[in-house]
Amino acid sequence: MENSVVIFDDGNHKNLLLEDFGHGEMVQANVHMIVDNGRGIILDPGGHKVFKHLISEVGKIIGVNNLDYIFLSHQDPDIVAAINGWLMTTKAKALSSKLWLRFIPHFGVDKFVIDRLIGLDDEGGIIKLGETELYILPGHFMHSPGNLHVYDPVSKTLYSGDLGASLGQDYIFVEDFDAHIQYMEGFHRRYIPTNKVLKAWVKMVRDLDIETIAPQHGAIFKGKDIVNKFLDWLDDLQCGIDIMEDKFKIPNNKLEV
Ligand code: FE
């Protein structure tokens, strides 16, 4: 498994960060995998360029037939673009918010596999993986209107999709939270619609026992101290329409495009 970083491993249960196989113009993306007693779920597996590397990696880790789920936190291309390949080469079910069921097929989903693309209600729910259960949590509006997150109670890892995303740092685990803010701030201020939704989400996840928060882009928050600093930061963050109301003006700048 030379291409994966082990986040948790107790022998029966593993949480892996598969190496970023993205290159060139593609935004850096983390692909996460949870394995329990030989059964697997892959989270936000990305587009066509990374597909063939990831599918062979999954083959090496558990065997493609033991992949039970492909989790799609939302509808962005860095998450769903290769969904047809995943459904064609595995027996897994793809889970997404119901909001995207009629949009994802625009990436080209074969009629023989479309019944394994499953839409989830806004409430999320609990799914079985191997001998354990995973919680699928509402993460709506952060940033997508139909957005879901995954909490794994065995490793106490919260997979937060684009929430906590960072770009430009050169480390995998956040050590100094204050120094890390600069890599997250731009994205969160512009993509998250309002502080109100952050507050609702923070209130919900404070009821979970969290050791690790693992976003889909950038560095991972590991340890309760860093996790709490991140939650406190989100709780106070002004973003989206909180700070952008004055942008709604008729433009008078000529574009040279
Ligand atoms: Fe996104």
Tell me whether strands 67-71 and 125-129 are parallel, antiparallel or unpaired. unpaired
Q: Which pair of tokens denotes residue 240?
A: 């989206």
Q: Distance between terminal CA atoms of the chain?
A: 46
Residues 6 or more apart whose Cβ sits within 8 Å of residue 142: 161, 162, 163, 192, 193, 197, 198, 201
C-alpha distances (whole Å) from 228 to each of 8, 126, 177 are 19, 24, 10
Domain-embedded: residue 253: no
Amino acid present at 71: F
CATH code at position 77 = 3.60.15.10
Number of domains forming the structure of the chain:
1
CA of 143 to the centre of ligand 1 (A): 7
C-alpha distances (whole Å) from 16 to each of 9, 111, 157 are 9, 31, 11
Domain-embedded: residue 56: yes
Domain-embedded: residue 167: yes
CA of 12 to the centre of ligand 1 (A): 31
Looking at the chain, the whole-number percentage of residues with pLDDT higher than 90 is: 92
Q: Is the pLDDT of residue 21 over 70?
A: no
Domain-embedded: residue 106: yes
CB 14 within 8 A of CB 40: no
CA of 165 to the centre of ligand 1 (A): 10
Handedness of CA 223, 54, 149, 124 (dihedral sign): negative
pLDDT digits over 154-209, tens only?
Answer: 999 999 999 999 999 999 999 999 999 999 999 999 999 999 999 999 999 999 99
Task: Read off the pTM.
Answer: 0.95
CA of 252 to the centre of ligand 1 (A): 30
Residues 6 or more apart whose Cβ sits within 8 Å of residue 16: 1, 4, 5, 6, 7, 32, 33, 34, 35, 61
Q: Is the pLDDT of residue 1 over 50?
A: no
Q: Is the pLDDT of residue 12 over 60?
A: yes
CA of 81 to the centre of ligand 1 (A): 12
CA of 142 to the centre of ligand 1 (A): 9
Q: How confident is the model at residue 22 (pLDDT cuts 50, 70, 90)?
A: low
| Structural domain that includes position 19 | 4-243
CA of 162 to the centre of ligand 1 (A): 6
Domain-embedded: residue 251: no
Domain-embedded: residue 194: yes
Q: Is the pLDDT of residue 24 over 80?
A: no
Mean pLDDT of all residues in 130-136: 98
Residue 243 burial by CB count (10 A; 0-12/13-18/19+): exposed, middle or buried? middle
Q: Is the pLDDT of residue 2 over 70?
A: no
Domain-embedded: residue 178: yes
CA angle 165, 207, 97 (to 5 degrees): 55
Domain-embedded: residue 143: yes
